[in-house]
Amino acid sequence: MLVLAAESSCDETAVALVEDGRVLSSAVYSQVARHAPFGGIVPDIAARMHIETVAEVARRAFEEAERTPDQVDAVAATYAPGLVNCLVVGLSWARAFAVARGLPFLAVDHLEAHVYGCLMSPLGDPLDPDKVELPLVALLVSGGHTAIYRYEGPGRMTRLARTVDDAAGEAFDKVAVLLGLGYPGGPEIERAAREGDPKAFDFPRGRIKRRPLDFSFSGLKTAVLYATRGQNKKRDDPLLPGLSIPDVAASFQESVCRTLIDHAVKATLEQDVATLALAGGVARNGRLRELALAAGDKKGLDIVLCEPAYCTDNAAMIGGLACARLAGGEAPDRGQLALGASSKSQVG
Ligand code: KG4
Ligand code: ZN
């Protein structure tokens, strides 16, 4: 079964071809350079760029997969959550393809697809159904979302914890701006942190009363602001003389990563499952991956680190999940063709 998948929830235009769970191609056009001068994503620019690029990205996906549109058996696209103006581009493009060719269409949840990505094999390799044991607990850390889920398989995902303010990736992006580093902030902070001392600053580890698994990163952001400008100073105030940007970056990264892993490990033990998986853009972070592996060793947990190519937004994870749903016996009904794009996930 050959699935054509599209993803356009944020600033990546992505199209993939996935055959029985094996990723044949995963074309991604990142708009990051276009948004970098603004220090964040500008939704209207993002939507326009999806319109301009989706057909070319799809052409690349077919070329790399060495398949033709006539060979497609089913079509899938992200319908939620994300920027609605952006979602509708990939969704409408994919639906038009499905309707014109009389193919079944599957509307896919972006968050579930991020988690499902942890079960997938690298590009070109067949799906290995024994790769990961289910159920698992997933830490999903991206620019738009930070949450912990219990995942039992397609359609069976329950949220255990979430952030009450910023997503972890958003905190990386905002702190990078405070430090005068580029966008997106995650990779920039990780790079700067390599030269820094993670113990130089004792940044707070956001805790929420009576909700020990939830996250809060706004206090940490303010702590970084004051550490770099002085107490009660504003963002536009000058940096303190002699400040070591690498030390701030390393200490910030350490605080975020330790909090994420502590909560995720706690949730995994509470759920009494053997596997903790890391998904989403922030899951590319080397320090986060290192801390997860160390915690897994200590607590006897299997740690699944999502393939870096499936951590940040891509359509392979959308196609992979669609294949799993079809293999599980789902018969896509016409209702999925009518499902509107939404900023909210049904999964939570
Ligand atoms: O999953 P993703 O591509 O998009 C969303 O669905 O949000 O995640 C993008 C986020 C950005 O905030 C970016 O700064 C962060 O992932 N990110 C990282 C790293 N690479 C990307 N954060 C920390 N360390 C990294 N190496
Ligand atoms: Zn994402």
pLDDT digits (tens, 9 = 90+) for 152-197: 999 999 999 999 999 999 999 999 999 999 889 999 999 999 999 9
| Alpha carbon of 50 to ligand 2 centroid (Å) | 15
Place of tokens 């997106």: 184
Q: Is 10 in the pocket of ligand 1 (CB under 6 A)?
A: yes
Place of tokens 């905190």: 171
Phi (first) and psi of residue 107, to 5 degrees = -90, 125
Look at 23-27, 118-122, 130-134, 194-198 and tell me which has the smallest mean pLDDT: 130-134
Q: Using 50, 70 and 90 to split pLDDT, how confident is the model at 216? A: very high
Domains and CATH numbers, the chain: 2-122+310-338 (3.30.420.40), 136-306 (3.30.420.40)
Q: Is 198 in the pocket of ligand 1 (CB under 6 A)?
A: no
Distance CA 34, CA 63 (A): 26
The answer, yes or no, to whether residue 198 has pLDDT greater than 80, is: yes
Phi (first) and psi of residue 181, to 5 degrees = -95, 170
From atom 19 of ligand 1, which residue's Cα is the shortest distance away?
186
For residue 143, what are its two tokens?
């620019």
Out of 282, 285, 306, mutate this one to test ligand 1's pocket (max ligand atoms within 8 Å of CB): namely 282
User: Across-strand partners of 162?
Assistant: 147
Mean pLDDT of 199-219: 92
Find how far residue 116's CA is from the centre of its chain: 11
Cα 184 to Cα 256, 263, 264, 335: the distances in Å are 16, 25, 24, 37
Find how far residue 154's CA is from the centre of its chain: 17
Q: Using 50, 70 and 90 to split pLDDT, how confident is the model at 348? A: low
Q: Is 185 in the pocket of ligand 1 (CB under 6 A)?
A: yes
Mean pLDDT of the chain: 96
The answer, yes or no, to whether residue 39 has pLDDT greater than 80, is: no
CB 81 within 8 A of CB 343: yes
Q: Using 50, 70 and 90 to split pLDDT, how confident is the model at 258? A: very high
Instruction: Render pLDDT for 320-334 as a digit per residue (tens, 0 to 9).
Output: 999 999 999 999 988
Q: Is 312 in the pocket of ligand 1 (CB under 6 A)?
A: yes
Q: Is 173 in the pocket of ligand 1 (CB under 6 A)?
A: yes
Q: End-to-end alpha-carbon separation of the chain, Å?
A: 30
Distance CA 81, CA 168 (A): 17
What is the SS3 assignment for 112? helix
| Alpha carbon of 274 to ligand 1 centroid (Å) | 26
Query: What is the CB-side half-sphere exposure of residue 99 using CA atoms within 13 A?
Result: 11
Distance CA 131, CA 119 (A): 7
Q: Is 280 in the pocket of ligand 1 (CB under 6 A)?
A: yes
What is the SS3 assignment for 204? coil
Mean pLDDT of 232-255: 96
E-assigned strands of the chain?
A: 2-7, 12-19, 22-30, 74-80, 105-109, 136-141, 146-153, 156-162, 275-279, 302-305
pTM across the whole model:
0.95
Positive/negative CA dihedral, 308, 314, 315, 319:
positive
Q: What percent of the chain lies above the pLDDT cut of 70?
A: 100
Q: Is 169 in the pocket of ligand 1 (CB under 6 A)?
A: yes
